[in-house]
Amino acid sequence: MAVTDQNVLNEIQQLLIETPNNGASWSSGQWTAQEVINYLNQRQWDFLKQTALLMARATLPTNPNVTRQPLPTDWITTQRVVWQDQNGTMTEVPRGDGWEADHAVTTWPYNLYSGPPLLYTDGEVPNLQLEIMPAPQGSGVLQILYVNLSAALSNSGVAFTVPDEWTPCIKWGVIADMLGKVGRGMAPEQATYAETRYQEGVEAAKVALHGWM
């Protein structure tokens, strides 16, 4: 990855008729340096979440009859979960929710269950936790594939985590956030255009990964 936060910040400053200085300051006074850096990081995270362009793996040991496990601290969203029992047998665990668990195995909260987990959820639990339902009686390992946080951007020359081809998408997303901010610099039509360019990039990345559906 060769494109840095300073490269993109300079491009944004030129497009918005600001003095290019690697995002160190904004001469119009309509935005602060930290505010724009926050937009930059949030858009890169959102781009990764929507596209699953880059992912990481993690192994979570499980204990008998324990449903919730801590997720990695750089977790954004889960893509796939596999449970491996003590004998090495691997079972894919699909995403679900508490309603499905209650109707699939009605006694799962209070009776012992001898099979592998039937589903997982990361949406009905505290942040950075994953719950498997029902909890198996034996210990095992959860192997997860997940979208992880990117490198924290600033205005100090940090390289983007997304490949160089997709940094223009991040740039347009940041411009959409900046021009959509309520204030004297608000420009709704231009913000809408910039958001469209960002969403085009998201869809293009999905097509590049998965092909036309």
The pLDDT confidence band at residue 213, using thresholds 50, 70 and 90, is low
Domain count across the chain: 2
**67 and 132, same structural domain?**
yes
Name the domain boundary from 148, 179, 198.
148
Over 90: is that where the pLDDT of 167 sits? yes
**186 and 121, same structural domain?**
no
For the chain, the average pLDDT equals 91
**What is the per-residue pLDDT across 32-67, written as a single tens digit (0 to 9) for each?**
999 999 999 999 999 999 999 999 999 999 888 888
**69 and 33, same structural domain?**
no
Is the backbone peptide bond immediately before 134 cis, with ω within 30 degrees of 0? Answer: yes
Name the domain boundary from 148, 170, 201.
148
Domain that holds residue 36: 5-52+150-210
Strands annotated E in 50-208: 56-62, 68-70, 75-85, 90-93, 119-121, 129-133, 140-148
**139 and 93, same structural domain?**
yes
**173 and 97, same structural domain?**
no
pTM: 0.85
Domain of 88, CATH number, reads 2.60.320
For 2, counting Cβ atoms within 10 Å of its Cβ (0-12 exposed, 13-18 middle, 19+ buried), the class is exposed
Q: What is the pLDDT of residue 110?
A: 67
**161 and 136, same structural domain?**
no
Name the domain boundary from 133, 148, 163.
148
